[in-house]
Amino acid sequence: MAFFFRFLSLLALVLAIAAGTVDAVLSVSSSSVVLTSLEADWVAVDPGSLTLVEAWINHYIHPQAWQSGLAVIIQQPAFAIFLALSLLLWMIGYRRATLGASSA
């Protein structure tokens, strides 16, 4: 199970690097800092799924969960969200190194 979480952590890290690279290229080309939100990236990839997720959360959980929780989170820069997710998944999948055979 630890391998699964470390693999998901790697995928989140790759997404963070990709989002950061896109923001860096846009920042250099516009001569100002550009930080793309996760919401903007999500809409660019699949706009219909964002409205489906919002409707599902409003129906099955609570409308306040979307307005106060997830809507605030997805407005943050995409690279920061993916970096935080990568760290969280890595911490879940972390295993201490086993010490070899102990010599007495």
pLDDT tens digits for range 74-104: 999 999 999 999 999 999 999 877 776 555 5
Does residue 72 lie within any of the structural domains?
Answer: yes
Residue 48 and residue 72 in one domain: yes
- Mean pLDDT within 22-33: 96
Gap between the Cα atoms of 77 and 11, Å rounded: 17
pTM here is 0.84
Q: Report which of 88, 90, 82 is spatially closest to residue 20, judged by C-alpha positions.
A: 82
Residue 60 and residue 85 in one domain: no
Does residue 49 lie within any of the structural domains?
Answer: yes
- Written as one letter, the residue type at 99 is L
Gap between the Cα atoms of 81 and 97, Å rounded: 28
Structural domain count, the chain: 2
**Does residue 7 surpass a pLDDT of 60?**
yes
- Supply the range of the domain harboring residue 48: 37-76
